Each structure stands twice: as C-alpha cells, then as structure tokens.
C-alpha cells in the first residue's frame, strides 16, 4: 500500500518536472517561420539550337548550386542537386529569399575566372525566389551526340550507330576558355564514347549495367576525323533475351567542369528502349 | 524555526564582511610554475600532448580519423589494395569521419605555449635539456601542421599563442597557401632537429633523428604533390573564395622550383640519418640463403623493442595501456570476439617475388596464357603454391596451410569433385563480371553438382565424402560465402599479430608496440628523393652519387627481405622511379604509409590509376572508369586427384568497390568551420 502511494507521488512529481522542463524551451509556441514552399524550375538549353542539353542524373551530370544570399556575405551553398536526364531541374522545397543560381555541366563554364582569380564573365543568375519561378540557362555544350538509324539486336548484343559533332566551335571554345589559363588545344580532344545499357529507363553513367555497357577510347586528336561520321558501337557480354533494356550513348572532351574537380562530364543522347529477342 | 533562519541569515551577512581580496594561488590549479620548471613537470606537460598526437597506429582508423580508440582497428583497408575488410570501414581514403581540425589547434596551442613560456624557466635546466624541450615543441607543431597539410593543403599557420579574448584580427588566422604551409613545416622540422638531442633523453621522447626522419617523409610528400599535381586535369590548384590565397596546389611559376627544393630537403634529411644516426636494418635472426631465418627475422622485428631499426615507436604496456589489434585481426578460429579484419589481397601479393606468372605479370594459376584459359595447375599441398614466395611476404601474410600460433591454417574455398584436368570455373574474369561468384556457377547450384561451397562454419558446412572420410567444403578458417568473419580473400594478415600460442585473447589484451618510423623507410625516402632529383636534373645536394645511393638502399632492403636483388643500378627514368615506389609499397605495407603514398603520387583517380601499384599495371584490369576492386586467391581441393588448385577471382565474400576522383586529393574543410568564419576558405574545387 505504501509503495503504491510513493509510486504515485513519483509519477506526479515526474509529470510536474516534465512540464516545467518543457515550458522553458518555448515548446508551446508556434513555429511561425514560413515553410519552404518556393518552387524553382529550370532548363538547360543549347544557345544555338534551343535543344535541351541531355545529361545523367548524378554527380557526373549537370550540377545545380544554389546559394541563399539573404543570410549575408559569408554563406555556404545549399546542398547541390542535379538535373534530370532531359536537362531540366525542379526543386519544390526552397525557402523564399535572394539566391545565386549557377550550374556546371558539359558546357562552357558560366562563371569564368582567370588564373589570378579575376572574374572574366559571370552568366550565373542572382534573383529573388518566391512562388513558382522558372529559369532558363542558355549554354554552349561541348558535344552533340545523336543516334543514326535504329539499333540492331543479335545474339544478345546490341549494335548501335551514333554521330558525334561539336556543339561549340573550337574558335568559340578557345576565345572563352583560353583566358582562364593553362589553355591547350588538347582540351578539345574527344576522349571517349560510352555506350550505356541498363534495365532502368534512367540509363546513364550511374544507372548502367557493368556487364553490358561498353566504351570506345581515343587518344590525342585521334577522334577529330571521326567528328560527324557514323560510329558503330557494340555492347559487351550477352544480354539475356525476353526483356527490354534501355540504351544511351555519351561522349566527352578532355576538359573538366568546374575546373580543378577532375570531373569530365559527358554529353548524352536520348535513351532508347530495345527489346532483346 | 523562523528565529533560526534569521540568525543564520545574520551570521551569513556578517561572515561575508570578513572576506578580504583573495590573491593566493589556488592549490588545485597547476600552473606553468609547477610544470615548466622541472624535468618531472615537463614529463607531465609533454605526456599530455603526446597522448593527443596524431599518430596513425593501433588506435587510428582511416575511415574514422583520430578518435584515439582502437575499435575495429584494421590496417591497409583504406582502398590501398593491401587488404580488405568485410565492413563499411573498408572504403577509399576520401576523408575522415572526425576531421583533424579543431583538436589540431589545441595541440598547436600547447606547443606554442611551450615555445613562448619555456624561456622564462631557462635557468632551471641544463642548456642541452632546455634546447631539447624547445625542440620537442617545434617537433610537435611540425607534426600537427604536416598531418593537416597532407589532408587539406594550405592550413591556418598559427605560429604564436593567440590571446583570448581578443580582436578579430588577432584571433582569426586564414589559410595560408599550400607552398607557405610546406615551407613552415620544413622550418619547424629543421628547428626541431637542430635543438633536440641525438638520443631521446627518456623513452617515448623524440630526438633529432626522429625529426629528420619525419622531415624526409613530409618533404617527400610536398615534393610529390608539387610535381604530380601537374598530372591531374586542372593542375589541381585554386584560389580561396574569401581570401584569394592559393589554398591548394602551386602557382604555375613556382611548382617546379618548390618540388626540387622539397625533394632536396627530403634527401638531405634522410642522408643525415644514414650517415650519423647509427640506425641499421634489423637482422638479428637473418642469415644468407636461409628463407626460414629471413622470414622469422621479419616476424620478430616488429615486436622487438631493442631493434636498431626502430626510430620512433608507440609503446603499449599491459594492462594499463593496451589495444585490441589481435582481437580484431586474428584468423577465424582464434576469434575473440571478432576476427580477420585485415585480409590481404591477391593484387598485393602480386608485388612480391617467388611466383610463376602469366606474360602480363599476374600470378599464374592455370596452364594457359591467362587465368581464363588452360587447366588449373594442381598442387599436392595448398602450401606448395607459396614454396618459393619471398620471405618478407610470408612474414606479412599467412598463406593457406602455413603455420600460425602452432596451428596449421586450413584455408579452403571449396571442394571440386569433377574430372581432371580442370578448366577455369568462369569463362570471363574481367572487371565487368566481378559480381558473378562461385555460388552462381551451374556446377554448384545445378545437377550434376561438382562444386561444394559452405555458406557458414560448423553445421552449415557442405560435406563431401572423400576416401571414406567426411570432408567439409570450406576449411576451418574459411572462406565462407555468407560469413565475412573468416577470410574473404583466401589470405590472412600476419604482420603485427602476436604469434605466441599462449597469448590471452580478447579486447584490451594486446600490447605489441607500433613502429611509427623505422630505418627502412629512411632508406626508401632517400632512394625516392634521389631518383626524383636525378629526374629533375638537380645536382646531388651532398655530392653523393644519387642513383648509387638509391640502388644501394633498395638492395639493402631486398637482401634483408630475401627478395631478388637488382641486376643493375636504378636508372633515372620512370622505370627506375617505379622500382623504388614498388619496393616502398612492399616493405612498408600495413604501416599506414601506402594510403599517403598513392595520394601523393596522384595515382588513385582513374586517369592516373595505371601507377596505383607503384609499378605499371593496366588499370582496366582492376577498375572501370570510376571504381576499382581487388582480387582474392581461393584454394580449392580436387577429390579426383587429391590435390589443390587456386582460382584468382575478384573478392568473393563481402565484395567491395572503391572510388576516387581528383577532388579527393584535398579533403573538404569541415563545413561548420568555413561557415562560421569570414576567413577560412573551403577548397576552391568543391
């Protein structure tokens, strides 16, 4: 009997203490900060043709970096996110504020600085974001990759034909990149063509199947005469029959974006669905 | 009751009146007067700093950083290829969970405090001892700066005691350029070496040659970074956004002279130790043409505290200061409470002499031109495969059927009951098929079944009748395809483990010392710096013949290791440089050195990965254009012949892939440090 009473006392005093503790940290106050309800939609297009710049969704695709400047000068960027494979991006959970928006991908950098850090050009955006906002980046992609004909399937191997052309002229590239320092004509060399195969429709570098994806490598200026030519590429291994796979090709030049990251990003063509039979 | 309270309150107020100004030093606070005035006080002051020094030993894990505990400690599993581990702790060295930043500045402050305040007590010590203590402070600061520079590039060079509180200008120190940082490290090591005694005044203290040895290591790092940054796209340099300082990499105009300067200093420091240090390679049990003695010699040397090779050793004493390296890394049947945390890879043992090879240099397991063709070579005993293996390798790695703690290690991947000769199990051994494993083979899963494998130990073992007896598919030591607690590569680590059968198992029971710096590394530092200097066309700093010094150093190490000596002197080209690099990869394996070497050589990212092993190896054999993997060497038993054969296959159990991009050569500065300061720059390429 006594023990029960003591237990009751402990219970009550415990509750009392809890309420004292809670009340001291504005527990009952409403969090009145506006929820992140701003939506930013964007697309990345080729300035010459107006076509979307296709990419892969992941660290090697087109990176979108937002920095909320409302906090003052010493701010760190928001966590990065990446474009969707079709070259568009969308973020529906942003706080309203003043933002710096920039993208990095397989195109001439938007923000260009010389070797001493002096700014040469800045095509990034600074804008107030509220409600739903749309932005469009017009860029100069390095390469354009296109399918030629339909792929052929034989004995579990896919044979596809692609054409790679320059989307930015070497002269334009040099004019814009040379002032950034360390320029060499070798930066323009096409180094490899990738042929990605996957069961996933978001096929690309990140969602490829190692067993079947293949690639062609080129050293030095070896690829230059092949620009605009039809290139045949064959998948690796043997893909089991009876299912569809998705394929995509990508090519890149010997230039990393942003400079110093060592990440050389690919330009892609659109994914194709192929039935293996 | 009330009265009592009033009386008490009155008494209280009256007693307050009696207080006078308190200007007596409290007895429970230890001040400079006690600490810096006697050798005993200095012991305490330095011991405290030493306990927080960034030593990479049994209490350090690459993935986690300096957390000063030995939990799950394994060595060489940081994507160096030396070994792999079953858990997520085996991953590329792209950063540490606990970045070495805040704690570093506490240690720097302790060193700076000593530098600024010890002069007040100069008369209390002999000049030699006073100088030595001052030298310790510079040595500590150099070590901390060096530890940070390897990770981050340019760092805030706090070289004086900052008063707190103070103004922003006094308290905020921005990151210096990478070149200034290495110059400061050079200066501090030089200062330390000139002040400290040639022999440590006490066990555990540093000395002149310790400072010189780490100086040569640090300068080799600096020289390599300056030179090999150039081989990475974008030259791996950039200016800080807030300060405009070149916080990573080198200026296009200065990298070459900086690289030469650092290699020269590395060479000079190493040569000074070679000429005047009085150290030598450990050869107590060594004897010529006796592989067994050479092997035993190299097993013993890591636990012999009287070794003339030891320059700097972190000692442990049972039961007060212990670690748990044995508990996490012993072979499976010794587990207490864990086991086999460090499983050496086939790619690693391929560095060593004493194996038959294919034309491309990889270890031969079949009669064909590569491991996918021909028939498996059969051996009467699994151990026969390693009959001629380099004694040094045997001292580092436990082979199947070799002895450990008086017990034969029964390592077997499975049993094959099919006919002989046996064709390779897979028709494709390339990187892209690495995820196809033995248990996916038809000969295992379908009828007729000819391959027997075990998912786990004990009752889970598959049993095969052989010669009227029952034989378990996997050996007692594994590998088991569903249990990564046994070996996952077919090999076990021997180095550092207590070889005594009487050793008590368990965590906190181990007290082997960790050798942080030994003479073999000094020889290799001299050799590498020599070749780099010759390659850069720099004259020998001390008039010695650079390539002769390099060749002699390599030969001295090879002789002790029982390896094949050089047939001719090292040449001043990439081949010559790679001879030294490869020797380093072999000799200093499992000593927390390789992960820094592949970093400073800039050979971890895809474009540079051909040089990953110190020698030239085709990267496409172990990597795709992003990730890389390592292979195991799995012994199988053929019941038909009663013999063993080996299969070389990408890691079968707990398979791991590793990744690395050029961004990882300079780690991220902790983002909170960047966000809260107007001066601290993030890496410009992030």
DSSP annotation string for A140-203: -BSEEEEEEEEEEEETTEEEEEEEEEESS-HHHHHHHHGGGSS--GGGG-EEEEEEEEESSTT-
Domain hosting residue B143, numbered range: 32-54+100-276+667-676
Q: Of B177, B228, B229, B233, which to mutate for an interface test with A (greatest number of A Cβ within 10 Å)?
A: B233
* Domain range annotation of chain A: 38-139, 143-275
pLDDT category at B569 given cuts 50, 70, 90 is very high
Bridging pattern class, strands A132-139 and A143-154: unpaired
The tens digit of pLDDT for each residue in B95-142 reads 999 999 999 999 999 999 999 999 999 999 999 999 999 999 999 999
Q: Which residues of A touch B435 (CB under 8 A)?
A: 210
- Chain centroid, CA A191 distance in Å: 20
pLDDT category at B1 given cuts 50, 70, 90 is low
Q: Which of A219-223, B4-8, B246-250, B439-443 has the lowest mean pLDDT?
A: B4-8
CB contact under 8 Å between B233 and A215, yes or no, is: no
Whether residue B345 is found in the same domain as residue B268 = no
**pLDDT recorded at residue B474:** 97
- Go through B388-399 and write b for each residue having 16 or more CB atoms within 10 A of its CB, e for each that does not: ebbbbbbbbbbb
pLDDT greater than 60 at residue B265: yes
Q: Strands of A63-68's sheet, edge to edge?
A: A81-82, A63-68, A97-104, A125-129
The tens digit of pLDDT for each residue in B196-212 reads 999 999 999 999 999 99
Whether residue B138 is found in the same domain as residue B253 = yes
| Eight-class DSSP state of A271 | -
The tens digit of pLDDT for each residue in B476-490 reads 999 999 999 999 999
**pLDDT recorded at residue B453:** 97
Q: Which residues of A touch B428 (CB under 8 A)?
A: 237
Do the domains at A38-139 and A143-275 have one common CATH topology?
yes
Whether the CB of B15 is below 8 Å from some CB of chain A: the reply is no
**pLDDT recorded at residue B343:** 97
Whether the CB of A236 is below 8 Å from some CB of chain B: the reply is yes
Rg of chain B over Cα atoms, rounded to whole angstroms, equals 28
Whether residue B348 is found in the same domain as residue B244 = no
Tell me the average pLDDT across B638-664.
96
Q: Which residues of B touch A261 (CB under 8 A)?
A: 234, 661-663, 685-686
How far apart, in whole angstroms, are the C-alpha atoms of residue B263 and residue B266?
A: 5
Q: Tell me the H-state helices in B205-360.
A: 208-228, 255-276, 291-300, 325-329, 346-349
User: Tokens 């047939």 belong to which residue?
Assistant: B567
The tens digit of pLDDT for each residue in B39-86 reads 999 999 999 999 999 999 999 999 999 999 999 999 999 999 999 999
Whether residue B221 is found in the same domain as residue B320 = no
Query: B242-245 — which CB contacts under 8 Å span 24+ positions?
Result: B242/A74, B242/B174, B242/B678, B242/B679, B242/B680, B242/B681, B243/B174, B243/B175, B243/B679, B243/B681, B244/A117, B245/B154, B245/B174, B245/B175, B245/B176, B245/B177, B245/B681
pLDDT category at A11 given cuts 50, 70, 90 is confident
**pLDDT recorded at residue B15:** 64
Residue of B nearest to A191 (CA): B607
How far apart, in whole angstroms, are the C-alpha atoms of residue B497 and residue B479?
A: 20
**pLDDT recorded at residue A34:** 82
CB-based contacts of B468, cutoff 8 Å, min separation 6: none
Whether the CB of A219 is below 8 Å from some CB of chain B: the reply is no
Q: Write out the two tokens for B21.
A: 């100004």
Architecture of domain A143-275: Sandwich (2.60)
**pLDDT recorded at residue B12:** 65
Residue pairs spanning A and B at CB distance below 8 A: 69
Distance from CA of A60 to the nearest CA of B (A): 11
CB-based contacts of B138, cutoff 8 Å, min separation 6: B111, B115, B188, B189, B191, B192, B195, B211
Give the residue among A65, A96, A95 at the shortest CA–CA distance from A80: A65
**pLDDT recorded at residue A182:** 81
Residue A260 has its nearest CB partner, among B607, B682, B685, at B685
In a domain, B524, yes or no: no
Distance from CA of A119 to the nearest CA of B (A): 12
CB contact under 8 Å between B663 and A263, yes or no, is: yes
CA angle B552/B198/B597 to nearest 5° reads: 45
pLDDT category at A38 given cuts 50, 70, 90 is very high
pLDDT greater than 80 at residue B574: yes
Q: Which of A232-236, B411-415, B623-627 has the lowest mean pLDDT?
A: B623-627
Whether residue B417 is found in the same domain as residue B391 = yes
DSSP annotation string for A236-256: -S-PPTTSEEEEEEEEEES--
**pLDDT recorded at residue A25:** 61
pLDDT category at A118 given cuts 50, 70, 90 is confident
pLDDT greater than 60 at residue B18: no
Residue of B nearest to A180 (CA): B234
CB contact under 8 Å between A259 and B234, yes or no, is: yes
In a domain, B636, yes or no: yes
**pLDDT recorded at residue A1:** 57
Whether residue B214 is found in the same domain as residue B336 = no
Residue A211 has its nearest CB partner, among B432, B626, B677, at B432
CB-CB contact of B63 with B73 (8 Å): no
Bridging pattern class, strands A132-139 and A38-46: parallel
Q: Of A256, A260, A264, A266, which to mutate for an interface test with B (greatest number of B Cβ within 10 Å)?
A: A260
pLDDT greater than 70 at residue B294: yes
Residues 430-449 of B with CB under 8 A from A: 431-435
Percent composition of chain A: helix, strand, coil (DSSP 3-state, to 5):
15, 40, 45
The CATH number covering residue B175 comes to 1.25.40.390
Residue A260 has its nearest CB partner, among B238, B431, B626, at B238
The tens digit of pLDDT for each residue in B301-350 reads 999 999 999 999 999 999 999 999 999 999 999 998 999 999 999 999 99
Q: Write out the two tokens for B607.
A: 């474009």
In a domain, B90, yes or no: no
**pLDDT recorded at residue A22:** 66
In a domain, B265, yes or no: yes
pLDDT category at A129 given cuts 50, 70, 90 is very high
**pLDDT recorded at residue A26:** 64
Residue A237 has its nearest CB partner, among B239, B432, B607, at B432
CB contact under 8 Å between B252 and A215, yes or no, is: no
pLDDT category at B594 given cuts 50, 70, 90 is very high
**pLDDT recorded at residue A21:** 67
In a domain, B287, yes or no: no
CB contact under 8 Å between B244 and A117, yes or no, is: yes
CA distances A219 to A186, A266, B2, Å, are 10, 16, 98
Whether the CB of A115 is below 8 Å from some CB of chain B: the reply is yes
Packing angle between helix B574-587 and helix B519-536, nearest 10 degrees? Answer: 170
Q: Of B232, B432, B433, which to mutate for an interface test with A (greatest number of A Cβ within 10 Å)?
A: B432
What mean pLDDT, rounded, does chain B reach?
95
In a domain, B281, yes or no: no
The tens digit of pLDDT for each residue in B387-400 reads 999 999 999 999 99
Give the residue among B463, B213, B445, B487 at the shortest CA–CA distance from B342: B487
Whether residue B223 is found in the same domain as residue B327 = no
pLDDT category at B355 given cuts 50, 70, 90 is very high
CB contact under 8 Å between A215 and B625, yes or no, is: yes
CB contact under 8 Å between A263 and B234, yes or no, is: no
CATH T-level assignment (fold) for domain A38-139: Immunoglobulin-like (2.60.40)
**pLDDT recorded at residue B538:** 96
Whether the CB of A217 is below 8 Å from some CB of chain B: the reply is no
| Eight-class DSSP state of A76 | P
In a domain, B223, yes or no: yes
Whether the CB of B678 is below 8 Å from some CB of chain A: the reply is yes
**pLDDT recorded at residue B627:** 92
Q: Which residues of A touch B686 (CB under 8 A)?
A: 261
Whether residue B105 is found in the same domain as residue B123 = yes
- Other Cβ atoms less than 10 A from the Cβ of B497: the count is 24
Give the containing element (helix H, strand E) for B561: helix B546-561
The answer to whether the peptide bond before residue B313 is cis (omega within 30 degrees of 0) is no
CA dihedral B469, B471, B476, B477 (to 10 degrees): 140
**Residues above pLDDT 90, as percent of chain B:** 90
Number of domains in chain B: 2
User: Tokens 């940070």 belong to which residue?
Assistant: B148
Whether the CB of A1 is below 8 Å from some CB of chain B: the reply is no
In a domain, B47, yes or no: yes
pLDDT category at A83 given cuts 50, 70, 90 is very high
Distance from CA of A23 to the nearest CA of B (A): 30
């Amino acid at each position: 009997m006594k023990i029960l009473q003591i237990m009751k006392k402990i219970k009550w005093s415990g509750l009392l203490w809890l309420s004292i503790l809670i009340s001291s940290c504005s527990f009952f106050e409403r969090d009145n900060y506006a929820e992140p309800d701003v939506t930013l939609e964007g697309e990345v297009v080729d300035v010459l043709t107006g076509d979307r710049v296709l990419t892969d969704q992941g660290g090697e695709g087109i990176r979108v970096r937002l920095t909320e400047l409302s906090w003052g000068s010493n701010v760190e960027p928001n966590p990065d996110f990446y474009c969707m494979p079709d070259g568009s991006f969308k973020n529906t959970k942003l706080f309203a504020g003043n933002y710096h928006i920039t993208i990095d991908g397989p195109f001439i950098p938007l923000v260009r600085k010389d070797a001493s850090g002096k700014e040469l050009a800045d095509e990034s955006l600074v804008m107030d974001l509220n409600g739903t906002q749309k932005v469009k980046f017009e860029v100069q992609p390095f390469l354009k990759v296109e399918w030629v004909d339909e792929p052929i399937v034989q004995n579990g191997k896919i044979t596809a034909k692609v054409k790679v052309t320059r989307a930015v002229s070497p002269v334009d590239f040099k004019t814009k990149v040379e002032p950034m320092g360390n320029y060499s004509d070798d930066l323009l060399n096409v180094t490899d063509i990738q042929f990605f195969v996957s069961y996933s429709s978001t096929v690309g570098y990140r969602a490829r199947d190692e067993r079947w994806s293949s690639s062609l490598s080129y050293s030095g200026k070896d690829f230059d005469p092949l620009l605009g030519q039809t290139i045949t590429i064959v998948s690796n291994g043997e893909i089991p029959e009876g299912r569809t796979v998705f394929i995509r090709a990508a090519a890149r030049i010997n230039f990393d974006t942003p400079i110093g990251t060592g990440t050389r990003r690919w330009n892609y063509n659109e994914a194709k669905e192929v039935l293996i039979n | 009751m009330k009265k009592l309270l009033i009386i008490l309150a009155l008494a209280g107020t009256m007693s307050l009146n009696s207080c006078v100004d308190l200007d007596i030093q409290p007895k429970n606070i230890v001040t400079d007067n006690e600490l810096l005035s006697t050798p005993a006080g200095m012991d305490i002051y330095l011991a405290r700093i030493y306990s927080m020094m960034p030593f990479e030993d049994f209490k350090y894990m690459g993935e986690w950083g300096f957390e000063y505990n030995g939990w799950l400690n394994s060595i060489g599993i940081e994507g160096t290829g030396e070994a792999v581990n079953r858990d997520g702790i085996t991953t590329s060295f792209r950063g540490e969970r606990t970045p070495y930043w805040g704690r570093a500045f506490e240690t720097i402050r302790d060193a700076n405090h000593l530098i600024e305040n010890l002069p007040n007590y100069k008369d209390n010590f002999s000049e030699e001892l006073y100088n030595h203590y001052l030298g310790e402070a510079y040595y500590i600061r150099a070590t901390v700066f060096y530890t940070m520079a390897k990770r981050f590039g340019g760092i805030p060079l706090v070289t004086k005691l900052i008063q707190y509180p103070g103004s922003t200008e006094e308290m905020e120190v921005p990151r210096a350029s990478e070149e200034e940082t290495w110059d400061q490290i050079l200066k501090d090591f030089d200062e330390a070496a000139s002040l400290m005694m040639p022999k440590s005044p006490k066990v555990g203290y540093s000395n002149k040659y310790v400072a010189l040895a780490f100086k040569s290591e640090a300068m080799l790092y600096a020289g390599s970074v300056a030179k090999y940054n150039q081989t990475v796209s974008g030259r791996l340099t950039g200016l800080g956004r807030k300060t405009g300082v070149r916080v990573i990499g080198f200026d296009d105009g200065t990298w070459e002279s900086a690289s030469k300067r650092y290699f020269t200093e590395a060479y000079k420091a190493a040569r000074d130790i070679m000429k005047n240090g009085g150290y030598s390679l450990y050869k107590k049990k060594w004897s010529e043409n006796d592989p067994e003695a050479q092997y035993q010699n190299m097993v013993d040397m890591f636990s012999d505290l009287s070794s003339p090779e030891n320059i700097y050793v972190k000692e442990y004493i049972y039961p007060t200061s212990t670690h748990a390296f044995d508990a996490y890394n012993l072979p499976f049947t010794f587990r207490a409470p864990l086991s086999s945390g460090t499983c050496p890879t086939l790619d690693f043992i391929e560095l060593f002499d004493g194996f038959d090879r294919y034309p491309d240099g990889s270890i031969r397991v079949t009669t064909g031109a590569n491991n996918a063709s021909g028939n498996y070579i059969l051996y009467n005993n699994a151990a026969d495969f390693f009959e001629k293996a380099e004694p040094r390798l045997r001292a580092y790695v436990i082979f199947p059927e070799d002895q450990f703690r008086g017990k034969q290690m029964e390592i077997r991947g499975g049993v094959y009951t099919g006919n002989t000769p046996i064709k390779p199990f897979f028709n494709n051994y390339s990187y892209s098929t690495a995820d196809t494993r033995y248990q996916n083979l038809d000969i295992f899963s379908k009828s007729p079944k000819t391959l027997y494998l075990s998912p786990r130990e004990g009752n889970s073992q598959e049993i095969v009748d052989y010669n009227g007896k029952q034989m378990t598919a996997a050996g007692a030591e594994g590998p088991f395809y569903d249990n990564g607690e046994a070996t996952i590569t077919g090999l076990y680590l021997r180095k550092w483990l207590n070889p005594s059968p009487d050793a008590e198992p368990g965590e906190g029971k181990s007290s082997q010392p960790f050798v942080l710096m030994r003479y073999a590394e000094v020889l290799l530092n001299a050799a590498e710096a020599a070749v780099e200097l010759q390659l850069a066309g720099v004259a020998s700093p001390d008039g010695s013949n650079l390539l002769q010094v390099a060749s002699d150093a390599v030969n001295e190490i090879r002789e002790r290791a029982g390896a094949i000596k050089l047939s001719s002197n090292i040449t001043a080209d990439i081949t010559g440089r790679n001879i030294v690099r490869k020797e380093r990869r072999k000799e200093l394996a499992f000593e927390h050195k390789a992960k820094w070497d592949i970093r400073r050589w800039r050979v971890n990212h895809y474009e540079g990965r051909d040089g990953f092993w110190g020698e030239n190896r085709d990267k496409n054999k172990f990597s795709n254009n992003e990730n890389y993997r390592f292979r195991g060497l799995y012994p199988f038993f053929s019941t038909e012949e009663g013999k063993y054969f080996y299969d070389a296959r990408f890691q079968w159990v707990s398979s791991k892939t590793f990744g690395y991009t050029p961004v990882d050569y300079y780690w991220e500065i902790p983002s909170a440090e960047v966000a809260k300061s107007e001066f601290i720059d993030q890496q410009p390429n992030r």
